Chains A and B, each alone.
Chain A
Amino acid sequence: MAIRVQREDFDVGAELAALTEGNHGIGGVTSFVGLVREMGGGPSAMTLEHYPGMTERQLAGIEDEARRRWPLQAVLIIHRYGRLEPGDRIVLVATASAHREAAFESCHFLIDWLKTRAPFWKLEENSEGSRWVEAKEDDDAAAARWVLRTAPEGGSS
């Protein structure tokens, strides 16, 4: 299955090996692994909340969109939820294609969309308590770039 939302950790090497196994049309795989990083000096952790049902539906829609835009041989999205500590893996996105450009670009596209559309929210903890992470405007700008770059229908240019 190409999309998984799970509490458990994942093994990047094993996932990438399984993704490409037996498919000799693949010329390259691009992968992105998101990690929990330490914030503001000192141990911290976070809890990722999601919307079961809608999350999977949104991820499937994003994958379909990537497959429409690039000739992809395989796509994998794994996103964790629950409590995670610095160094823990949060997300794995991998895309495979005959050619590297499609793999690089589609992986970048998927991550930008995940940040702005997939229903996940981060609650950060530190010694003083916990707070919900606010969305960043530059994440929106990163996602919007893909809309601008590929909006040929109805355009005048």
Chain B
Amino acid sequence: MKLLYFAWLRTKTGITQEEVAPPEHVRDVASLVEWLRTRGPQFADAFANAAVIRVAVNQEYARPDHPLRAGDEVALFPPVTGG
């Protein structure tokens, strides 16, 4: 699974993108965010407030219960501020 981080999620985690193999129990967006939070202090800080995390799976916005598969491209970012 490919993870992409944008804006302050990238700044806080220090990661632009990475390949991960999450544990078996990570089956949807919500459980992925829960798992990411356990990966170290910078992740705990970046993902402290799940309500401000937006997630896209394969470049489409995804809700917390959206299922995940091994080959997915998952992007994690704060609410957008373009225009």
Are A54 and B59 within 8 A (Cβ)?
A: yes
Tell me if B77 counts as interface (CB < 8 A to partner A).
yes
Neighbouring B residues of A122 by C-beta, 8 Å: 81-82
Binding stretch for chain B, among A9-17, A66-74, A110-118, A148-156: A110-118
Count of chain A residues near B, Cβ 8 A:
27
Neighbouring B residues of A48 by C-beta, 8 Å: 82
Are B81 and A57 within 8 A (Cβ)?
A: no
Neighbouring A residues of B83 by C-beta, 8 Å: 34, 79, 90-91, 111, 114-115, 118, 120
Which of A53, A57, A121 is close to B6, meaning CB atoms less than 8 Å apart? Answer: A121
The CA of A34 and the CA of B6, in the complex, are separated in Å by 22
Are B82 and A50 within 8 A (Cβ)?
A: yes
Chain B residues close to A by CB (< 8 Å): 4, 6-8, 11, 56, 59-61, 75, 77-83
